Amino acid sequence: MFAWFNQIFQISWMNLKNVPARWGASLVIVVGIAGVVGVLTAVLSMAEGFKATLGKAGQEDRVIVMRSGATSELSSGLSREQALLIKQAPGILRASDGTPMAAAELLVIADLPKKSSLTLANAALRGVQSGSFLLRPEVKIVEGRKFTPGTRELVVGKQASQQFANLTVGAKLAFRDSDWTVVGVFEAAGNVHESELWADAEALQNTYRRNGFQSVSAQLENKESLSTLKAALNSDPSLSLKISTLKEYYANQSKQLSTLLTILGYSIGVIMAVGAVFGALNTMYAAISTRSREIATLRALGFSAGPVVISVLLEAIVLALLGGMIGAALSYLIFNGYTAATLGANFSQVAFDFKVTGALMIQGIVLAIGIGFIGGLLPSWRAARLSVTTALRAL
């Protein structure tokens, strides 16, 4: 057994030392697989980044209440009376003065020019109450100040200010024939709210001629209070509501696009992987052809077929592993943290950062090893079946 493993080591070491002599052909495998891994990892990092951005706003101890049947805030609608009943329901945390930690909010879509192209795109304009800031302590003004309640002032998320033109402090915006002034920029720990514009709910209702809200968000007393809140609201015949934690809500919001990007990533990856397999096959077959005398000589010296098969496979796998590592590294360096924007479930632009995780990089490298194994399998089998006499006579 030791002799068998020693043969594998000796042949494999000899093959790998000779790789620089045929580096041009070997690059076909390395570059091809680097491209597969790089593209796959980049596309999947879009899905990871989008989920992460929405997931940061999802809390298990916070709830969002919408109209029954609504799939997003934009398709929901609550009257003032309903919003008041929801905010007073049991299970919602109270502040020290007894005020419910809850806020009724309005969501509308505004057309704003993008910085990159100056073409109009949908921006989420959220009407909030004072409780909205208490409910989301992660929201912090980093430039300027908060808007004054009752006025046509607004604050913009950091990502929105980077995506859209003219969203600097002091800028004037026109919504429904009324002028609004940007008075501040806020951060929200990188979550989806950074892609929004916030204004006073009452002022926004007057501008858009609305008399209700889209949703009520609230802080639970504890995680167990969710059942208490649901029981209280569902027992009221005047209410027909959908109650879910923010974690559940944003997970559902990100599911469709994340699934689409994942399917797209794997589809592109499979197509490119097939091409990489053929590239590996051609390279390894060419290598076997040029090394026929070498392999025949080893067999004549007593080396068995098994070590020859494994050595060729190992060469293909090592080259594929190198390509996979290069592809994963380039994907991380180029795409990790890259900011993009897409339409969210509310048909508004959501900015998010690509997220090249360690798990994605490992997944890409494992795929590379698989491509190397498949690409080296048939050539290694051919090498083992070479006729020693025929190969020595031919060369």
pLDDT of residue 246 exceeding 90, the answer is no
Mean of per-residue pLDDT scores for the chain: 82
pLDDT band at 88 (very low <50, low <70, confident <90, very high): very high
Averaged pLDDT, 31-47: 89
Residue type at 78 in one-letter notation = L
Q: What is the pLDDT of residue 205?
A: 93
**Residues 329-357: b if buried by 16+ CB within 10 A, e if exposed:** bbbbeebbeeeebeebbbebbbbbbbbbb
> Residue 229: inside a domain, yes or no?
yes
Structure tokens at 92: 């919602």
- Say if residue 134 is in the same domain as residue 172: yes
Averaged pLDDT, 119-147: 92
For the whole model, what pTM was predicted? 0.77
Number of compact structural domains in the chain: 2
Look up tokens 């399917």; give the residue: 263
> Residue 249: inside a domain, yes or no?
no
> Residue 369: inside a domain, yes or no?
yes
> Worst-scoring range by mean pLDDT, 23-32, 122-131, 317-326?
23-32
- Say if residue 46 is in the same domain as residue 98: no
| pLDDT tens digit sequence for 330-387 | 999 999 988 777 766 565 667 788 899 999 999 999 999 988 888 777 766 666 665 5
- Say if residue 259 is in the same domain as residue 326: yes
- Say if residue 235 is in the same domain as residue 296: no
- Say if residue 184 is in the same domain as residue 74: yes
pLDDT of residue 294 exceeding 70, the answer is no
User: Cβ neighbours of residue 239 under 8 Å, at least 6 residues apart?
Assistant: 82, 85, 86, 233
pLDDT band at 229 (very low <50, low <70, confident <90, very high): very high
Is the CA virtual torsion 151, 156, 160, 163 positive or negative?
A: positive
> Worst-scoring range by mean pLDDT, 130-139, 274-283, 318-327, 339-348?
339-348
> Residue 248: inside a domain, yes or no?
no
Tell me which of 68 and 305 has the higher pLDDT. Answer: 68
pLDDT of residue 394 exceeding 80, the answer is no
Q: What is the pLDDT of residue 223?
A: 77
Q: What is the pLDDT of residue 357?
A: 92
- Say if residue 111 is in the same domain as residue 230: yes
Percent of the chain residues topping a pLDDT of 90: 36
- Say if residue 32 is in the same domain as residue 91: no
Q: What is the pLDDT of residue 256?
A: 76
Structure tokens at 172: 């004037």
Q: What is the pLDDT of residue 390?
A: 52
- Say if residue 285 is in the same domain as residue 383: yes
How would you write the chain as a 3-class SS string?
CHHHHHHHHHHHHHHHHCHHHHHHHHHHHHHHHHHHHHHHHHHHHHHHHHHHHHHCCCCCCEEEEEECCCCCHHHCCEEHHHHHHHHCCCCECECCCCCECEEEEEEEEEEEEECCCCCEEEEEEEEECHHHHHHCCCCEEEEECCCCCCCCEEEEEHHHHHHECCCCCCCEEEECCEEEEEEEEEECCCCHHHHEEEEEHHHHHHHHCCCEECEEEEEECCCCHHHHHHHHHHCCCCCCEEEEEHHHHHHHHHHHHHHHHHHHHHHHHHHHHHHHHHHHHHHHHHHHHHCHHHHHHHHHCCCCHHHHHHHHHHHHHHHHHHHHHHHHHHHHHHHCCCEEEEECCCCCEEEEECCCCHHHHHHHHHHHHHHHHHHHHHHHHHHHCCCHHHHHHHC
Tell me which of 23 and 257 has the higher pLDDT. Answer: 257
- Say if residue 129 is in the same domain as residue 182: yes
- Last-in-domain residue among 239, 263, 296: 239
- Say if residue 178 is in the same domain as residue 225: yes
- Residue closest to 110 by CA, chosen among 204, 194, 191: 204
pLDDT of residue 1 exceeding 60, the answer is no
> Residue 151: inside a domain, yes or no?
yes
Q: What is the pLDDT of residue 279?
A: 77
> Residue 347: inside a domain, yes or no?
yes
Q: What is the pLDDT of residue 23?
A: 61
> Residue 63: inside a domain, yes or no?
no
- Say if residue 260 is in the same domain as residue 227: no
Task: Give the domain extent around 114.
Answer: 69-239
Contact between 239 and 85 (Cβ < 8 Å): yes
- Say if residue 50 is in the same domain as residue 117: no
> Residue 211: inside a domain, yes or no?
yes
